[in-house]
Amino acid sequence: MTNLKPSENSRGASKVSTESYKGVRDFYPEDMAIQNYIFSIWKKTAESFGYQEYNASLLEYTDLFKAKSGAEIVNEQTYTFVDRGEREVTLRPEMTPTVARMIAAKRKALAFPIRWYAIANCFRYEKPQKGRLRDFFQFNADLFGVENIEADIEMISLAYQTMKNFGFKDNQFEIKINVGTNTDKKDAEILIKKLGEIGIKNTKFDESVIRGAEYYTGIVFEIYDTNKENSRAIFGGGRYDNLLDIFEAEKIPAVGFGMGDVIIRDMLETYNLLPQTTPPAKLFIPVIDENSIAYAQKMAMIGITGGSSAIVGYSGRKIGDQIKYADKNKIPFVMIIGENEIKSGKFKIKELSTGKEIDATEDTISEIIK
């Protein structure tokens, strides 16, 4: 057999790297579990305020972002290319222009006020650093059609409750509020006062909070970790009543915010609030020999259709090794099936954390492992 160079495969081509693209992440199961937890809190909180989920394609015409942010920002901070139909397109760097486009497109048919949220995958071409990557997910919540300050209060309340639902205490984060181009300090003070009346007291007026003047028109806010080691805003938002101007559509008042998954995960880790790893299944059934495979599969299906979860072990390893596999993966229950168990329909389910053995039949599997 011919020896290959380390950089070549059997066809003479360069070896493909196992490294991911700079600034993006691979989500292994344990990472995906945390990601799903973050998404679940976002969804739970938004929907508790009556917000409906929407989404759109990652690809947008580049003109949308040029009109919103300008050609220079698009050229330097986005993934923009010409497709095979000679159309210039961009992987979205944020969701706000997209939702504005969607609202403008169907504004005559929509019933206002509109409360929408999205968990959107976004891309920005910038230097990867702590709390910021090139590929990230962002939680966006927007309220369209309410011009008065009550909409701003609702949006900040939603942001506050999101933090509380993650388990953060009031003294661990602070909501900083400032004013935009069409408001003054008195407006911010009235916002802050009303928030206090509904129990949100970790707020302060802060003139250093300055968000994109290209579309924020009123109250703006950002949420910060009170731990001084993390000086970057966790997330922020504000009022943007003129965003639909780029579509030459009539003015629709709007207020919203965005929260990225990268920095909120870092903060959850800082405060030991990451969820515990969950096992892949509740029940593990090691196969002793080929004769028990079919019955093991049947028992697993009983557990699954009963509303729980189960895995059949096909490795062919010794029972002790298979039980070690279950324990390492934190699967709480193990059921060993042999010839006697198949004949009698009676078997024992072992709880690995205590060593306790529970008598079981086909009718009781689901309840035991739940």
Statement: residue 231 has pLDDT above 90: no
Confidence category of residue 54, pLDDT binned at 50, 70, 90 = very high
Claim to verify: residue 318 and residue 365 sit in the same structural domain: yes
Claim to verify: residue 106 and residue 137 sit in the same structural domain: yes
Confidence (pLDDT) at 24: 92
Give the tens place of pLDDT for each residue, 95-139.
999 999 999 999 999 999 999 999 999 999 988 888 789 999 999
Say how far apart CA 155 and CA 142 lie, in whole Å. 8
State which of 217, 243, 270 marks the end of a domain.
270
Claim to verify: residue 264 and residue 287 sit in the same structural domain: no
- Long-range contacts (CB closer than 8 Å, 24 or more residues apart) made by 190-198: 190/149, 191/149, 191/152, 191/153, 191/156, 191/219, 194/149, 194/153, 195/153, 195/156, 195/157, 195/160, 198/153, 198/157
State which of 211, 238, 270 marks the end of a domain.
270
Confidence (pLDDT) at 13: 64
Statement: residue 200 has pLDDT above 50: yes
Backbone phi and psi for residue 15, each to the nearest 5 degrees, phi listed first: -70, 135
Does residue 198 lie within any of the structural domains?
no
Are 244 and 252 within 8 A, CB to CB? yes
Does residue 323 lie within any of the structural domains?
yes
Give the tens place of pLDDT for each residue, 299-309.
999 999 999 99
Does residue 182 lie within any of the structural domains?
no
Say how far apart CA 303 and CA 297 lie, in whole Å. 10
Confidence (pLDDT) at 216: 84
pTM above 0.75, yes or no: yes
Count the domains in the chain.
Answer: 2
Mean pLDDT of 269-292: 92
Confidence (pLDDT) at 213: 67
Confidence (pLDDT) at 146: 96
CATH classification at residue 304: 3.40.50.800
Claim to verify: residue 103 and residue 45 sit in the same structural domain: yes
Mean pLDDT of 236-242: 92
Specify which of 124-128, 186-190, 225-229, 325-329 reaches the highest per-range mean pLDDT.
325-329
| Residue 142 structural domain | 29-56+95-168+226-270
How many Cα atoms within 13 Å fall on the side-chain side of residue 358?
A: 19
Residue with token string 């060593």: 355
State which of 244, 270, 296 marks the end of a domain.
270
Claim to verify: residue 362 and residue 232 sit in the same structural domain: no
Mean pLDDT of 33-54: 98
Confidence (pLDDT) at 214: 66
Give the chain's mean pLDDT.
Answer: 91
Say how far apart CA 219 and CA 176 lie, in whole Å. 11
Does residue 292 lie within any of the structural domains?
yes
Mean pLDDT of 5-16: 62
Claim to verify: residue 123 and residue 42 sit in the same structural domain: yes
Statement: residue 9 has pLDDT above 60: no
Confidence category of residue 5, pLDDT binned at 50, 70, 90 = very low
Claim to verify: residue 127 and residue 265 sit in the same structural domain: yes
Are 243 and 100 within 8 A, CB to CB? yes
Say how far apart CA 34 and CA 258 lie, in whole Å. 19
Confidence (pLDDT) at 228: 81
Hey, what amino acid is at 313? G
Claim to verify: residue 135 and residue 232 sit in the same structural domain: yes
Confidence (pLDDT) at 3: 44
Does residue 49 lie within any of the structural domains?
yes
Does residue 301 lie within any of the structural domains?
yes
Confidence (pLDDT) at 154: 98
Give the tens place of pLDDT for each residue, 334-345.
998 888 888 999
CATH classification at residue 101: 3.30.930.10
Does residue 144 lie within any of the structural domains?
yes
How are strands ordered across the β-sheet holding 283-286?
310-313, 283-286, 333-335, 346-351, 357-361
Claim to verify: residue 308 and residue 245 sit in the same structural domain: no
- Residue ranges with strand state E in 145-194: 173-178
Claim to verify: residue 159 and residue 297 sit in the same structural domain: no
Hey, what amino acid is at 57? S
Does residue 162 lie within any of the structural domains?
yes
Confidence (pLDDT) at 44: 98
Residue 181 CB partners (closer than 8 Å, separation 6+): 213, 216, 217, 218
Say how far apart CA 84 and CA 78 lie, in whole Å. 19
User: For 153, which DSSP code?
Assistant: H
Share of the chain above pLDDT 90, in %: 74
Claim to verify: residue 121 and residue 258 sit in the same structural domain: yes
Residue 227 CB partners (closer than 8 Å, separation 6+): 172, 270
Query: ∠ at Cα 305 (302, 311), nearest 5°?
Result: 65
Claim to verify: residue 260 and residue 293 sit in the same structural domain: no
Give the tens place of pLDDT for each residue, 312-321.
999 989 999 9
Query: ∠ at Cα 354 (348, 356), nearest 5°?
Result: 25
